[in-house]
Amino acid sequence: MNKPRNSLARIFRVPLILLAVSLAGLVTALLVEGHGDVIAALAVAAPVATILFAYFRRRR
């Protein structure tokens, strides 16, 4: 029996990382003032940036 190419862990690795980063960004935005707001904005924008990167990379 062959091992499946795409295991469940491999399929959900990037979405779980994006979830963790954006959740950390939301918590940071609530708890930290000053430079933490910039870090939080970048963390919350990470999923959007990833989607745009994948979209433009695939269009080539």
pLDDT at 58: 86
Residue 30 has pLDDT above 90, yes or no: yes
pLDDT band at 54 (very low <50, low <70, confident <90, very high): very high
Distances in Å between the Cα of 30 and the Cα atoms of 20, 34, 35, 39, 42 are 16, 11, 13, 12, 14
pLDDT at 28: 94
The whole-angstrom distance between residue 45's C-alpha and the CA centroid of its chain comes to 8
Q: Rounded mean pLDDT of 26-34?
A: 93
Q: Rounded mean pLDDT of 30-42?
A: 92
> Is the overall model pTM greater than 0.85, yes or no?
no
